[in-house]
Structure 1
Amino acid sequence: MNDLDLMEKFRTDVPPPTAAVLADARARMFRAEPRKARKRWVWSLIPATAVGVVTAAVAFTVVGVNPEQPEQREQQPSTEAAQVLRLAAAEARREPVQPARPDQFVYVESLVAWGGAEASANGDLKDGKYIPPVEKNRRIWLSADGTRDGLLRERATDPEDAADPTSLIHENVPLPVQGTPIPAYLRDLPTEAKGMREWLYAGAESGKEGGNPPDVTAFIKVGDTLREQYVPPASVAAMFEAAATIPGTTVVKQVDLAGRRGVAVSKVHHATRHDLIFDAASYRFLGEREVAQKDAAPFPAGAVIGWTAQLKVAVVDRAGQLP
């Protein structure tokens, strides 16, 4: 079965979800399970850009992770993962649209945690020193049409970390427009699953976007798009419906992110698991997480490589204004 056949099957075999269907699906998905012993996570995320450069959005980049065996491409998405994404799509369609004028700004508040590694004397990150992450509250204002300068404020959430002079604290960092304007309010994305799937995979086959396999690139693009931009509800729903057709996804239940109980739809590539996390009750998008699946220096198996927890997305009149 090819991707288009899979898309057609996905669109025609599943009836529009009613309130009763959504409630029944939630009950099946989150049936009580025994809790496992809580692990002490190590957080780290390595920005794709050079150290010290402030960017409007942080792209997840895995460093020093190599596969032992070639990855097997699965032919179908997990039924359970597809169900979570369809429920998320149904809920997204219920959200009202936040209108925005071209001269306004998209405001995003989130919690973020990332670290990295200091290269060894020979420049090898695998032999380098692990740099622990610092959890921060991040507030960013980005131009709706991309033509106006933005603003970033970022501060450690722990008072001890905030007082540490080595912590990267951004009080009022201007984000000037450089080159081609990049709108933060995405008005023109597809609003149906087939067109959105084509958009997610655009450039993936050629390896232009990140150099990962197409399915991995498309999956990661979902989080990259939602992280610090405003996407209208119809396009968010189409994105989740399209993601439900990406092969090789699974579900991780009982995820805690910024104190919120969630469920993750995940895709593993090499030694890293990429998570898109949704609220366990409402299926609203909460954020992202990356987890090391085995020892891959400098990250030990089970370490959370990095995470973001989206708290609020709004439209405001000027950079620095709170909604």
Structure 2
Amino acid sequence: MIRKKSRREESLDHAELARVLPAPGDPHLSLDRHLLLEEHLMNEIQRTAPAPAPSRRPARRVLLIGVPVIAAALAGAFVFTALTNSGGSGTTAATPPPVEAPVVRIEPGSTAQLASTVEHIAAAASARKTPEPGPGQYIYIKSEVSYLSVSHTDADDSKTLVEPLHIREVWNSSDGKQGWLDEPGYKPKGGVTLDNDVESSLNAPSYDYLKTLPTDPDVLLKKIYKETKGQGNSPDQEAFAIVGDLLGEELAPAKLNAALYRAAAKIPGVVVVDHAKDAAGREGIALAHVDQKSGDRTEWIFDRKTYAYLGSRGVQVKQADGVKPGTVIESTAVLERAVVDAQKQRPGAQGTGA
């Protein structure tokens, strides 16, 4: 009698499968393939989700863990080909592969020279001539940046990867309603619009809004704490982060700049670091604050002689999320800050440098 097997019974046992099938290949993918797949999966998610309003400043980067091998196996060679051939109008050119994060010696911070250092920085900011955008003009800021890409991967949990240093250019109208962002390799080819109808605030500032802020450091700091309540890892960390955002990709009146520095000096935990380098390799003195939850220290770097703001750096000072102390997880350098007559126009005959 021939006995029919049910569907459940039709499967071969492990020993017989091993005998009749060829040996399986190694499913492990290289780190580059992991990252390519990760980008592809994120693009697919974003393609099906409603597009959010573009950020007016770089988002604080979230730590990304390596893509599981099982997901990588599902994608196969097709994903790799599709990603490496991506590009063209309206698309993001192939993103440069991340590089291993640099590691630096952690220099201790101190409050001994905090008051005098901040006064030097604030006095220089007050004396510095800052261009004011007129009707129809745009604030232009060009930076060199690198942000955290992957804290660690399944393949190698000892490596932290960051984006290669690259150029980021931003244009914003004084009311914050129109803007443009160009970041080749990380945004669609040609750039993306920053146009929005969001009301200006500390979290979405415009030049016109910044002009309305108080220049008394105590009043200003109280407002910062009030408007950022419940955000970030702690009230002190969020207050420091918000001031840092205003220093990077914004243009603020000179008196407000000075007030921001004096207000920041009143935030508990702020210290002076004698030596720090921005993304362009320029060395200076820094005001810094440690995020006690994530274990990284944000440093605002200033020229040692002129006290002009140069850029920022994020250095891991405590082991967290697989990131080792001394790892530079973020680095920026402001290369140009100017007022120009049109969106996408770069400083030149008609632009006034800051």
1:117 and 1:298 in contact (8 A); partners too: no
Does the alignment pair 1:228 with 2:249?
Answer: yes
2:180 and 2:343 in contact (8 A); partners too: yes
Change in CA separation of 1:81 and 1:170 when aligned onto 2, cut-off 3 Å = farther
Partner in structure 1 of residue 325 of structure 2: 301
Question: Post-superposition shift, 1:115?
Answer: 2.9
Question: Post-superposition shift, 1:55?
Answer: 3.1
Which of the pair is proportionally richer in strand? Answer: 1
Write the deviation string for residues 64-90 of structure 1: whole angstroms up to 9, x where unpaired. Answer: 8xxxxxxxxxxxx92412322221000
AA aligned to 1:213 is S
d(CA) in 1 for partners of 2:226, 2:305: 32
Q: TM-score, normalised by structure 2?
A: 0.62
Change in CA separation of 1:264 and 1:119 when aligned onto 2, cut-off 3 Å = closer
AA aligned to 2:56 is A
How many pairs are equivalent?
A: 243
Partner in structure 2 of residue 30 of structure 1: none
Greater RCO, 1 or 2 (C-alpha within 8 Å, sep 6+) = 1
Does the alignment pair 1:132 with 2:162?
Answer: yes
Partner in structure 1 of residue 177 of structure 2: 147
Q: TM-score, normalised by structure 1?
A: 0.67
Counterpart of 2:192 (choices 174, 181, 184) is 174
AA aligned to 1:57 is R
AA aligned to 1:286 is L
Question: Post-superposition shift, 1:175?
Answer: 1.4
Counterpart of 2:265 (choices 237, 240, 244) is 244
Question: Post-superposition shift, 1:169?
Answer: 5.8
Does the alignment pair 1:259 with 2:281?
Answer: yes
d(CA) in 1 for partners of 2:330, 2:240: 17
Counterpart of 2:129 (choices 86, 96, 100) is 96
Question: Post-superposition shift, 1:118?
Answer: 7.8
d(CA) in 2 for partners of 1:298, 1:168: 25
1:111 and 1:137 in contact (8 A); partners too: yes
- Taking only aligned residues, the RMSD between alpha carbons, in angstroms, comes to 2.8
Change in CA separation of 1:264 and 1:304 when aligned onto 2, cut-off 3 Å = same
Instruction: Give the alignment of 1:16-31 within 5 angstroms.
Output: none
Equivalent residue of 2:218, what SS?
helix
Change in CA separation of 1:153 and 1:319 when aligned onto 2, cut-off 3 Å = same
Structure number with greater Rg is: 2
Q: Structure 1: 5+ residue runs without aligned partners? A: 1-49, 65-76, 156-166
AA aligned to 2:174 is A
Partner in structure 1 of residue 31 of structure 2: none
Task: Give the 4+ runs in structure 1 shifted more than 6 A.
Answer: 50-53, 118-121, 126-129
d(CA) in 2 for partners of 1:179, 1:311: 29
d(CA) in 2 for partners of 1:115, 1:199: 30
2:57 and 2:249 in contact (8 A); partners too: yes
1:90 and 1:237 in contact (8 A); partners too: yes
Question: Post-superposition shift, 1:250?
Answer: 1.6
Equivalent residue of 1:172, what SS?
coil
Question: Post-superposition shift, 1:94?
Answer: 0.3
Does the alignment pair 1:55 with 2:55?
Answer: yes
Partner in structure 2 of residue 268 of structure 1: 290
Instruction: Give the alignment of 1:108-119 within 5 angstroms.
Output: 108-117=141-150
Equivalent residue of 1:97, what SS?
coil
Equivalent residue of 1:262, what SS?
strand
Question: Post-superposition shift, 1:127?
Answer: 6.7
Identical counterparts, % of pairs: 33
